[in-house]
Each structure stands twice: as structure tokens, then as C-alpha cells.
A and B are shown apart, each in its own frame.
Chain A
Amino acid sequence: MSEVEETLKRIQSHKGVIGTIVVNAEGIPIRTTLDNSTTVQYAGLLHQLTMKARSTVRDIDPQNDLTFLRVRSKKHEIMVAPDKEYLLIVIQNPSE
């Protein structure tokens, strides 16, 4: 467990990182550094988006798969890494 924590802490400590969320396959958050309401919102929405993105990639080429999803917005960047069972979400404020 500590290994997991350590890695998450390492990612969290980067410059500009606002929050980290670990989500299970159904979109229910497991671990987060943000407050509850924000976490739940991010988890639900990004889970759906990731599923959509993954299905898009696989539709185009069934042997392909989604490895990483980055959504850049005006205020910050959301990064999602999907897996069979889990989803890791990191929100970062990119350098100005």
C-alpha cells in the first residue's frame, strides 16, 4: 500500500498539480486528494469520457487501445490513464 501512496504522492508533488483521483472501473472514486463533491463529479464525468475515447480508438482499429488521455482547457489540464480495472486522473495547471 505504501508503494501506491508513495507514487501518488510523487505525482501530486509536481509543480502545478491540483489533484489526483484513483477511480475503479465503474467510476467510483477510491482515493482522492480533492474534496468529495469535486471528486465525485470528476470521477463520473471522466469515466464516461474515457470509455467513449477508448471505444472510439478501438472502433477505428480493434487491435489498438487507449493508453492516455489528456484534455487541455483554458484553466488546467486533465490527464487520465485507463486500465482494465482502474482509472487514474490527475489535474494540473500547466506552466504559464
Chain B
Amino acid sequence: MSDKPHKKNTSGKDATKRRKSTASATSSQKSFKGKTKTTPAKKEDTPTTPTGSATESGPPDDIFPLVLTSKTQELFQCRADEDLTQDNLHKIIKKEEILNDMKMRAAVSDFYPVKQMVMNYPGEELLLVFDRDFKYGQSFYLVGTEDTKERILHPPEPSEEEGVEEEDLMETFVYKTPEPKPWESLGSDLDIEEESVKDSRCKHRYKISRKRREFGAPVMFTDRNASVARDGYIECTSYPDKSFCVTKMEMDTGIQAVPQLQETSTQTKWKYPRNACTQYVPREFTDEEKENFMNSQSLKDFINSVALRFEIAVQQNEIMDAFFDDWKALREDESTFGGKTDTHLKEYQSFTDLYYSKDKAVSCINWHPTIYGIIAVAVSERLSFEDRINLSAKLVMTPSLILIWSFSDPIHPQLLMECPDDICCFEFCPSDPNIIVGGCINGQVVLWDISAYAERLQSTRTGGAKHTPAAVNALPGFEDKNVKKTPIVRYCAVSSIEHGHKAPISDVQWLPDYYEISRQGIPLENKNGICVQIISCAPDCSVYFWDIRPPNTATQAMTDRKKLEEKHLQNPQGIPNTFKHLDLTWKPLIRVGLPRIETSGEYSALKVSLKDIFQEGRLHGITDKSRAAKLEKPDGGFDYRMLRVPSAKNLKTQEDISTTFFVGTEDGDLVYSDFKMEKDSDSGKLTSSKPSHCFVIHDGLVTTVKRSPFFKDIVLTVGGWTFAIWKEGVMNGPILQSSASQKKCTVGHWSLSRPGVFFIGKEDGNIDIWDLLEKTHEPSQTQNISTGQITCIKPWIVSSKQHLLAVSDEFGTLHILEIPWTLRHPSSNEKLSVTNYFEREVKHLNYSEKRREFREQEKRDMDAEELRRLSEIVHEKTAEQLEEEVQQEFREYLKLEKHILSDMGLIKPAEDTPLPGV
């Protein structure tokens, strides 16, 4: 190793260090380094010749500078300047030898730094080159590759100046900084230019800001209508895209049917009932205050201002009823006219008993006043007086009865009432329907008390069981066999035979409960509130008043009292002792006689009619309970024994009760009398007054004297072949008298609902229904009920829809008929019309009376004049005068004849008016 003076001496072992360190004192070294580092294609570096030459540039990769020790040099025969000289720089060393060397000397071996290269060397022989110039920094270098080895061993032919330069450079290594050459484009810069981004112009800079004063100002938003401003909004409307149309073929849905439920609850406060009451009294003023008010001026003014209105209004009402519906009223009339075709009495039911009423006639009918459907019928023998006497023995055996029928059982009567003899008439007591009074043929007045059987009658009304409670409770075998039989009630009292009537009692009636008659015949106030008196009349020319109360003990005779005591002991047959005080000792209160007016003798009364009498035909209740209450027995009924005939002084006289009455007689007269007793001036006794009027009207017995239920002063009398209607107060004669009918009229009765209608029963079993507003010369209807004579007619109002008519005949049958609507429904203002009719008739009667008088007067005058005329001298008339007179007479006669004939329609009048053209 020769050291050059300008080179530093570095250890050969530190070659790596050198290679690595870039800092180098010499620029040449630096350039080496630069060379080693850079690629040959780099621009910056001084363009060096392509490093084909290893000597010129820094050690290339395949050149490995080495430092060999002398020992190594000896080993491999490459001692410097001996083996390897300037002319022979190369030495071929075998790879194996190097490897052996390395093995032997390991790290001390000079080839150790290139160990790797040696091991990788592909060939067998490596080239070692003596580097005299220290081109690569060391005295030796090893060539790493074959190519380079080949190149170095066999250097290529110098072709170019570069090669030349190479040789030159190889000889002297002078580092020259590469000269900058103009860049030669090879086409890559175009691509680069395309891809690179360059600003086409310089960037503009804008600064935008709001006005200073708007900084921090509150924001105010306003609305803007987007549709108004152009392009205010951008819409992306949907459109049917035909390209996309997929129909849903199936859809999977779940359904659940759930009832809608709602749960609610409330809580109410529980209010508990508490008994509480209030009592209030209306506010009223004291009398003083009222006086003050009356005196005040304000009231005066008020009344004055208001009075006129009232006067007008009240007067208006008086003049005319503004709300009267004429149309409706008209319709009512029309409907009765032709509407209903049913005008006949319909048969409702009929009663006859095969045993009790066989061959007997019904003498009297009466409806039970309170219980619906119960009717009582008195049956009597159809025998004349003589026959009665003849058959008296037989008649005693057969009991006389009143049958009580119920609608529920048309075959068996409900109750039988036993009478001492045949009953001609009887009546229920209006205030106590369990008491019945009847008049016998033998002149006795009979009383019954059916209180015990009232329940039975009541239960039959409901159509109930025939069994009485006793039967239900009875044990079998011990039953009362008579339970099913109709019970017989015996009369509980009869009047005294000596003091009673001496002829069959033809009429018996109860006096109403609001008055009673004293011994003088004066009507007095009845404090009892129940009916206590009875009026009866008989053809023995007397009218008796009876009182059912026990007589004052003072007036009773000793004999009577004895009888009473006797009777107390015996009480067979369980008769109720309601009237025990009267039995057989009963005397009438008053005896009213009917002396004839003009002649002597008396009227034989058949029927009597008082003005103030109970109206039958309706269900009554007890009229005055308050007064009657203290008489009531605990089980119902009244205790008549408690009653006493009061002294007349204690009672008030009833002024408005009239004491007059009508009596129908056997001779067909109607007698109008007064039952007030007069004191006879002569004897001081009380006698009855003479009747005021007597009308001979009928040609037979007067069978009916009945007041109209609507007009207290209108009386209907039926007798013989006629009937008549009278008005009390009109003494001229009857208002209406019928013409003689074909058959005898046997009974008559007013209708209870229509003022102008009444029924007349005939001998042949017909009923004539008369309607005064329709026809007055003949009955409006005739209906046949039975074949026998009608003996009694009694109408009854059950309800507004049902009016019944009970008709009995002489064969013992009781017919119940239903009155049709036309006969029971009064037309509007019927009462008024009938009243007017009666008034007209009265006027007519008066007028005709007057005319009669006038006529009579006239007749008398005419007679007087006639006489006068005859008494005058008859003047001789000349022949002509006579002839003229005769002619005149003849002419007058012809005229008269023509007139009469034309009236009769036999001849036509001379000049006919021409008939109008057809």
C-alpha cells in the first residue's frame, strides 16, 4: 500500500465506515460519495460518464475496495508492486481460497468485509485488482460480478470519445462538476402538464359582509309565498311511472275482531233515606193590613185602570162562547143519525127459575144499588082475587119469594127472600143496601135484612166460587148438606096488621136521607144521614109514612110492649134482630088520606110519586157518611135500634122540600095533593088536606107515576091504553098525552141517560121506545120482548158503555137487555132541547086553553047574535034579489068546489104554466 500524499491514511478495516460517512475532507472523496449515492440518470449530479468504468467514479456496487495485508498479499501472490504491477493489475483468485482464508483467519481475514459478496459470487474465480491510483480508496479491490470482471479483464474497444474520456479518466481521476445541460424533453412533460392543475387566472378574492348596523339585530322572519316567486321552490312531483308497475296480488294482513269494550265506573254518594217533613202555611195578611191595602190610593188607581178590561172580557164571555167548536158539535149530531145501525135492545141475559118462578108473574124488579150484577125479582101468583080465596089453602104451602139473581149464574138464584105473602112491590134501602122493604098483598109492610148474605152476593159478582168459606173448611162427611142450596132469608119485621094497610100495598118507597117527616107532615132535617122513612100506598085510599126507628116508649101501648118482650125470647131460624123493635108492632107515622075533591069518597091510590125522592138507576154511595158514621155497627150495617124518633122541635124545618105529591088511582085519575097535615079547626085533630087537583086522564088503572130523572117536575103516568106527561105546576092538563094504542100500556119508565126518551111496556110483550125529540105521535121504536104482558121495566146504568134494561113479564122471566148507543147517548143539548120542548108544549097548552076559552066565548057570542038575528023581522026579498042571491050562492059554491077539487089534486088548474123545455 502506497500512500499518496494528498490522501489520508485510513485503516483498511474501516472501509465500511468510510463508505458510509459522507463527510469527507477532499472534494474528490466527496464526489465519490456523491457518485456512489446517485443513480446515473440523476439530473443534479454532474453528468459523469456512464459508469462503465469502474476506475473513474466512486466504487460501484460490484466493486469492493479491499485492504490486503502483506501477509495476505504473500498468500495470494498479489504483493503490491511485485506480483501486481502497473501492467498487470489483475489477479484471479479462486473463490475457494478466499473462503479457506476466511475460515482460517475468521475476522482477521482481510476478505472478511466482502465475505458476503464472496459467498454469493456466482463464478469460481474472483478478480482482484491492484488499485495503484487508489481509485476506489484502497490499494486493492475485488470485483463482485462476472460481467465487471470480464469488462475489466477485457476492456471494450474504445468507440467514442467517452470511451476515450473513460480511458483518460481512468487514468487520472479528476472530478469535474457536471455541466448543466438544457433539459431534453422526452415526452413525459406533456402528460405531466395535462395532469397538473394550474390556475387559469389569478384567484379573485371577495369579502362579503353585512352592514355594520345589522350586526346583532334581532332576526325577523317573514313569510314568503313560495309559489308566487319564480323558482321559489323546487318540486319533485310524483308521476306514474309506467316502467314500474307492480300490482300487489297478495297482501298479508292480520285482522282481529275485538269488541269495543269500555269500562267506566262512577261512584255515587250513598244517600240514605231519612224521614223528614215540612209544614208550611201560606203567607197571609192580617185584617188590618188588608184594610190598609183597600184604602190605599194605589189600589184604587189599579182597580180603576183594570176594571174596564174585565168588564169587556166578562161581557164577551156572557155573550158568546168563543171557543165553541161548531164543526165538532155538528159532527156529533150527524153521527147519531145514520151511523150506527144497531138501534135495538139487545138481549143480554135472561133469568128464570124453573121451580120458584114457574107459573108465576114477576111483580117488581129492583137492581141492587151497590153491587153490579145483582137484581132482585118479586114473583107472585097470577091469580085473581077470587082464585086466591079458592086456592088459599094451597097458596099457604107454597112460600112467596123474592129471588135475587146474579149475572154470573142464570139458573140458580143467589138468595131467596121469604115473604109472608106475595109481594107487589119492594125497594132496596138507598143508604143501606142490605135492608129491603116490601109491600105485601095482605097490606103488611115487610122488612128484610140480608147483611149476613151480603158477602155471598158480593162474591158472586166476581163470578167466584159457589162454595162459601164454611164449605171449604168443613171436614168431609160433616159437610152441611144445605150449603149448596140457595139460602132463604126470612123477613125480619112486618108491620102491625091492625094498623097497616087494608088492601094490597101497591107502592112502597124510601124517603131520601136528607130529610124526614114529622108527625105533622113537615119535612125536617134528618140528622141521621141514612134513610129512615118509608112511604107506602094502597088502594084502600091511603098513603102511609113509616119510620123504621123504634118509637118513643111513651107512645107505645102496653100491649105492644108485652108483645115485644115475648118476641125477645123466641128467635127461631136465626133471623137477624135488626128490626126486632118493629116486628108486628110497627105502626105508620102518618096516615095521609085522599078525599075526593068535589064528591065524597076517596081516591084509591095505586102509585105515588114524591118530588124529593131518590133517583134510582145509579150506583150510589152512602150519601152522608159523617152523620151515618156514629150509627155504624162494627161489622157494617147500621144499628137501627139506636135511632130514636126525635122531637120535632129539635130539628130544623127543611124549606126547600116540597110536600106535594102525585097519586095515580085505580080509576085512572092523577091526583095532586099535599101530605102536610092540617089542623082541623073543628076537632083539633090533624087531618090531611084535600088534593088540589085531580085529572081524569087514563081509561084504566094508573100503573106508573114516575118522575123524570132529569126534570124534577116532569111526571110520566101510564095507565089504560094511554100515557101522559105532566109538568108539576101546569094544572091545565098533561103536556103530552098519547093517543090510544092498540094494546094496553102496562108499565112505563124514563130513560136514565136521555132526557127525552122513555120506555112503555105493553100487554102483548112489546116495548115501545119513545123519543120526544124525534116523534111525539108514535113510538120511535117497538121491540118485542116476550109473549106475555110486560110487568116491570127498570133501566140501570152500569158504566158509560153499558146501560141495561131489566124487563119482566107475566111468565116469570126476567130479561136483561142492553141499551144500544143510540138510545143511551144523549145528543148534544138534548136536555136543553127537551126543556124547550116542554116549555113549548106548556105554552101550547096555555094557548089552546086560552083559545078554547076564546072560542067558547066566541061561540056564545055567535049564538047570542044568531038568536038576535032570528028574532029580527025577516024582510021580504024581491024575486030578482032572491035569484041574485041564489046565483051568488051558486057561484060561490062552484068556486068552493073547484078549490077543494084542486086541493085534492083531482082537477088541474085552468091555466098551466108551460113546462120548462127539457
Chain A residues within 8 Å of B, Cβ to Cβ: 1, 3-5, 7-8, 10-11, 14-17, 22, 24, 26, 28-31, 36, 40, 44, 67-68, 70, 72, 77, 79, 81, 83, 85-86, 88, 90, 92, 94-96
Contacts and interface: CB of A to CB of B under 8 A. Distances in A.
Given A72-B323, A83-B302, 14 more contacts: A4-B294, A4-B299, A7-B304, A7-B307, A14-B311, A22-B303, A30-B290, A31-B290, A67-B309, A77-B317, A79-B310, A83-B305, A88-B306, A94-B317
B318 A40 contact: no
Interface stretch (B214-222, B278-286, B506-514, B890-898): B278-286
B295 interface: yes
22 contacts: A1-B295, A3-B304, A7-B303, A7-B307, A11-B307, A14-B311, A17-B314, A24-B285, A26-B283, A28-B282, A30-B285, A30-B293, A31-B290, A81-B309, A83-B302, A83-B305, A83-B306, A86-B298, A86-B299, A92-B317, A94-B318, A95-B321
B306 A15 contact: no
B interface: dominant SS: helix
B597 interface: no
Contacts of A28: 282-285
Given A1-B294, A28-B285, A30-B293, A88 B310 contact: yes
Contacts of A11: 307, 310-311, 314
Q: Closest 5 CB pairs between A and B?
A: A40-B282, A94-B317, A81-B306, A14-B314, A30-B293
A30 B303 CA distance: 13
Nearest to A93: B317
B313 interface: yes
Given A16-B317, A70-B313, A81-B309, A30 B294 contact: yes
A4 B303 CA distance: 7
Contacts of B284: 28-29, 36, 40
Contacts of B293: 22, 24, 30-31
Contacts of A44: 282
Contacts of A77: 317
Contacts of B209: none
Contacts of A17: 314
A15 B315 CA distance: 8
Nearest to B281: A40
B317 A22 contact: no
Contact of A81 (B310, B321, B323): B310
Which of B283, B294, B304, B306 counts the most A-chain CB atoms under 10 A from its CB? B306
B208 interface: no
A7 B282 CA distance: 27
Contact of A3 (B300, B319, B321): B300
B313 A79 contact: yes
A15 B307 CA distance: 16
Contacts of A81: 306, 309-310
Interface string B307-348: 101110111011111010000000000000000000000000
A17 B316 CA distance: 12
Nearest to A89: B310
Contacts of B309: 67-68, 81
Interface residues of B, number: 29
B303 A8 contact: yes
B305 to A, nearest CB: 7
B321 A94 contact: yes
A68 B312 CA distance: 11
B318 A16 contact: yes
Contact of A31 (B294, B310, B318): B294
Interface string B882-915: 0000000000000000000000000000000000
B279 to A, nearest CB: 15
Nearest to A88: B306
Which of A30, A36, A44 counts the most B-chain CB atoms under 10 A from its CB? A30
A19 B294 CA distance: 18
B423 to A, nearest CB: 45
Contacts of A86: 298-299, 302
Interface in B58-113: none
Contacts of B300: 3-4
Contacts of B282: 28, 40, 44
A85 B303 contact: no
Which of A1, A3, A44 counts the most B-chain CB atoms under 10 A from its CB? A1
A88 B285 contact: no
A92 B314 contact: yes
A10 to B, nearest CB: 8
A36 to B, nearest CB: 8
A5 B294 CA distance: 8
B458 to A, nearest CB: 36
A88 B302 contact: yes
A61 to B, nearest CB: 20
A70 B322 CA distance: 12
Nearest to A32: B290
A4 B290 CA distance: 13
B302 A90 contact: no
Contacts of B304: 3, 7
Nearest to B301: A83
Contacts of B319: 95
A75 to B, nearest CB: 13
B677 to A, nearest CB: 41
Nearest to A17: B314
B303 A68 contact: no
Contacts of A72: 323
Given A28-B284, A81-B306, A85-B302, A90 B318 contact: no
Contacts of A67: 309
A78 to B, nearest CB: 11
Contacts of B307: 7, 10-11
Contacts of B294: 1, 4-5, 30-31
B791 to A, nearest CB: 41
A10 B309 CA distance: 13
A15 B318 contact: yes
Contacts of A1: 294-295
Contacts of A4: 294, 299-300, 303
A67 B282 CA distance: 27
Contacts of B314: 11, 14, 16-17, 79, 90, 92
A95 B320 contact: yes
A92 B317 CA distance: 8
Contacts of A36: 284
A5 B304 CA distance: 11
A7 to B, nearest CB: 5
Nearest to B283: A28
Nearest to B315: A14
Which of A15, A16, A94 counts the most B-chain CB atoms under 10 A from its CB? A94
Contact of A14 (B285, B305, B318): B318
A35 to B, nearest CB: 13
Contacts of A94: 317-318, 321
Interface in B266-299: 282-285, 290, 293-295, 298-299
